[in-house]
Structure 1
């Protein structure tokens, strides 16, 4: 009987210890969650459920944007809404994207330094295993009469639009749609070498008096062919005759499955400049998240969808007119301004660019952003980061994560809160701060597409304005 009491008492004592351990664990976890919440200002914080990290990649039709018949539908080239066959290409991983990004940023800095009379910026000699094409988002347009539908990457940092053309005498890559056939179109014409449109910036040769163009990109890819004019169909009610473009006969590099590029820069050959009389050098877009639905691209001041548009100044450099320059005043983290010197962003100029993925910042600006972010994320377990990221976290032990808002302060008192999807990026089992620092302090910022997600970004080149409207696409 005594032995039975001893055994029962031991069992009760054991289960009490288990109960206390479980309760104390819950209290510790609850305290950790509560302490995280109480240590920050929730008005300047995103509360994210870790069950949504990473998000489910399922295509959903957006309720805004492309439902307007004047809009072109925008999708991420590797996202679930893309019709490009992902099984026939090698989708770049995060490391490859970062290498490509660095090459593009170096290219932008090199052009800016040259235009300002500074010493040429020496780009990294790092090369990609295969040459990945810049740009993440695609649209489908019509070319020719009758029109042929072509899926093109659109790029605010490039001017000349181009597509692959039959017979591709010098070689073409494998694309999703059939290659454009000039002989099947009644509206096609070549541009002669004597034409003013055969400018020295793009002309590399003449072939039977026809202008031969050549364009190279920051990742080493290039296109070469005949400079031509054709009818461009943007929407069922929007056509442009005599559109100047490159009819590519030799395209070197692995471009993916898209048919070419739609140039939205500020140079003379861009679609924006060619349609200045029709659209007033005014266009806008909304970039969906990689795992989101769809966005839009529209031309003309009547195409906007956002009711919350706020406009800042759009700068310009006469010696390097192709880029769009943005007036960055400061950055805040969790509601606290970093109080950065304005000279950090104005000495060379800061560029907004759809072809760069992750925003790059001057060295001092990035160090201040990183320090403030790390301080407000100090409750979370850090992880060894993959270069060039240096601030990564293991969030697997939390149900809820409190992420400090990162806000860009632009001229004219325009503040843009980066959406949660634009603050952290998944890398294997960790989540990293999705910004990078320039190696050279004197190089300006490049505001990339990852931080532009879900905003309607409005380019009013004629009016010298750049607008942001929140929540324009999913």
Structure 2
């Protein structure tokens, strides 16, 4: 009896101990104190499966459309499901975009001409198009003509290629929009307040626009109005957009740009009375998953934490204030002057997050220290902290969390910390650069719900935005 009693006591103590340990771990995880992620190396790379996993968040919304990868398992447009990424080209174009943003700030020249509803568009990860941006499909004109557009928080004017191409048009996947076949299309006159004092108005009656991007690509055409169909129940009349007649560059099969900036010609600004100048999105974790782009406030997570929009970098871009960064359990030495030169923005079109050189150097150093048990390898383009995971089933990496003004702490998803080139070259998805402002890029935004409450002057973040 005594032996049995002692045995039961040992079991009781063991159970109490195990319960305490698991509870401690759960409480630590819940409080956000976990300082590392452990995951399967295979989860970093595209699956060979042809199955598509839809976003449950988007699927549960009345006006939801799927977010699909152009060449992924979810796409109905792709003719080549095995299209390979050209990472050098992605990173080269990313750097060109960053320089373009910097140039725009120097010239102080934003894109454009010199109870609310909610709806969703399909956001498609275009990274296999060598751009690593995300696209949405919308209907334009009457009858409706579907086009895929790169959605971009760094641009204001929405534009698409139009027939006839008076100069040149690049190759796109869908047929080019022909305004002469649409009964709802009409040009905007030079006298329109939306046109401004454009030089070409001295010789023509229609307002014209010209946009040139950092990589040398450009679009030139007429400013027009047209009907845009987002979903069957969400149709926008008389939307200002650019009808591109002379377009050059590599837009990777997309028909143009959907502008989500803060300027007067952006879609959020034009639809203020309908959607209260609020939109949100979740960028999918892989080509086999979907995400969503949502206009309006319906369905926004209750766990969203907001930080004020700073207008310091530009009245068109979405400025944010980074006040802290934590790598694992280590807080980086960030002072009030660390980001003071140019500030910071959040941008859907920039791939790799850019940080001031000194801040990035400390981040890289701490990350390397915590990854000292893994084999390092050579860098790639702007990425210099890289590892060889060949032969490994799992890896453990330190968490990375950003603190924004107002005390908002955003812990990155594990997939938002690394940039995967091959299993023998997986890199920290950050770069240092003192020649530009800091940019919170789209790799870091992956799987987060990002909310742009423009009317409220704030940007919000919540975890698990796609599922």
Q: Indicate if the aligned counterparts of 1:205 and 1:213 stay in contact, CA closer than 8 A.
A: no
1:461 matched residue in structure 2: 454
CA distance in 2 between partners of 1:167 and 1:268 (Å): 28
Q: Indicate if the aligned counterparts of 2:90 and 2:130 stay in contact, CA closer than 8 A.
A: no
Identify which of 290, 295, 304 aligns with 1:294: 290
Deviations 1:11-53 (CA, angstroms, capped at 9, x unpaired): xxxxxxxxxxxxxxxxxxxxxxxxxxxxxx9921101122434
1:160 matched residue in structure 2: 157
User: In structure 1, the residue corresponding to 2:155 is in which secondary structure?
Assistant: coil
User: In structure 2, the residue corresponding to 1:65 is in which secondary structure?
Assistant: helix
CA distance in 2 between partners of 1:411 and 1:135 (Å): 28
User: In structure 2, the residue corresponding to 1:232 is in which secondary structure?
Assistant: strand
2:445 aligned with 1:449: no
1:108 matched residue in structure 2: 101
2:203 aligned with 1:210: no
Identify which of 194, 199, 218 aligns with 2:191: 194
2:67 aligned with 1:71: no
Deviation at 1:250, TM superposition (A): 1.0
Instruction: Give the aligned length.
Output: 414
Aligned residues: CA RMSD: 2.4
2:227 aligned with 1:234: no
1:402 matched residue in structure 2: 396
Indicate how the Cα distance of structure 1 residues 176 and 203 shifts in structure 2: closer, same or farther if over 3 A, else same. Answer: farther
Structure number, greater radius of gyration: 1
Q: Indicate if the aligned counterparts of 2:70 and 2:78 stay in contact, CA closer than 8 A.
A: no
Q: Which moved more, 1:235-244 or 1:171-180?
A: 171-180
2:427 aligned with 1:436: no
Q: Indicate if the aligned counterparts of 1:359 and 1:446 stay in contact, CA closer than 8 A.
A: yes
Q: Indicate if the aligned counterparts of 2:46 and 2:286 stay in contact, CA closer than 8 A.
A: no
CA distance in 2 between partners of 1:159 and 1:89 (Å): 33
User: In structure 2, the residue corresponding to 1:283 is in which secondary structure?
Assistant: strand
Deviations 1:316-353 (CA, angstroms, capped at 9, x unpaired): 13x83110011211110012211311322233120100
Instruction: Give me the TM-score of the superposition, normalised by structure 2.
Output: 0.83
Q: Indicate if the aligned counterparts of 1:138 and 1:151 stay in contact, CA closer than 8 A.
A: yes
CA distance in 2 between partners of 1:342 and 1:444 (Å): 15
> Where do 5+ consecutive residues of structure 2 fail to align?
1-31, 110-128
1:329 matched residue in structure 2: 323
Q: Indicate if the aligned counterparts of 1:188 and 1:229 stay in contact, CA closer than 8 A.
A: yes
Deviation at 1:84, TM superposition (A): 3.6
Alignment of 1:322-401 (within 5 A): 322-401=316-395
Q: Which moved more, 1:164-173 or 1:81-90?
A: 81-90
Deviation at 1:167, TM superposition (A): 1.7
1:250 matched residue in structure 2: 246
> Where do 5+ consecutive residues of structure 1 fail to align?
1-40, 117-131
